[in-house]
Amino acid sequence: EETRRVGTDFEAKHVVVTAGGTREPIDPVRYIGNRSTGKMGFALADAALDRGARVTVIATVTPPRADRYDAVEMVETVSDMRVAVLKACQAADVLLMTAAVSDFRVAKPAEHKMKKQGENLVLELVQNDDFLLELSDDFVKVGFAAETQDLLDNAHKKLVNKRLAMICANDVSAPDAGFAVDTNRITILHASGGQEALPLMSKYAVAHEILDRVVPLL
């Protein structure tokens, strides 16, 4: 177990963290998902807690330390996550949006388990709205951009379009910085300009690096 860093700089602050990958139902037993395991989000939730924050976790997978947080809301779909985030952010100082949010959902999920019919299956998908855009700008919003190419260009567009204070860009094609591992290597892009490439470190250490940069924005 990694040595924990404790502090008081997030005392009286409400930090909302989303974690994990959303699941969009195809039928009652199947879903469209992604490889996110929630590890970066849970590391941020733990680090914020260790620095005195009140922490709300909105997750698609059960946090290993769920009992420690002030509130845990389990969600499945993007629609569920949207409702939970909009509600929690009414009284938030910081939103750390690590969740891998599905860009599409199945237009009409089947009511019963689907049976094979013919050779092919065509699913109609419709785009989900980006609920970050619905949030007010009077608190600190931090986004995450998992990319496999054009990392910094893509991340910078998201930073601007989504009106974020920071975005953490992450090349998930690297084996030590992607899904389901305990390490990460991010570049932080700031709305105020500039970018910082951090070395490989544990997700818990990355979490503190991110929180260090949130403090002056509070």
Q: Binding residues for ligand CTP, per CB under 6 A? A: 97, 99, 101, 103, 128, 130-132, 143-145, 158, 162
**Contacted by 97, from Ca ion, ligand CTP, none: CB < 5 to 8 Å by type:** ligand CTP
**Residue from 9, 103, 153, 182 binding Ca ion (CB under 5 A):** 103
Residue 215 Cβ, how far from ligand CTP at the closest point, in Å? 20
- Give Cα 121 to chain centroid, integer Å: 31
Q: Count the residues in the chain.
A: 218
- Pairing mode, strands 183-184 and 166-171: unpaired
Q: Which residue in 54, 38, 9, 160 sits closest to 98, CA to CA? A: 38
Contact between 176 and Ca ion (CB under 5 A)?
Answer: no
CA distances from 142 to 112, 129, 137, 174, 191 (A): 39, 18, 12, 22, 10
State how far the Cα of 2 lies from the Cα of 105, in Å rounded to an integer: 38
- Between 103 and 153, CB nearer to Ca ion: 103
Q: Which listed residue (34, 128, 170, 184) is catalytic?
A: 34
- Between 22 and 184, CB nearer to Ca ion: 22
**Residues at the interface with Ca ion (CB under 5 A):** 103
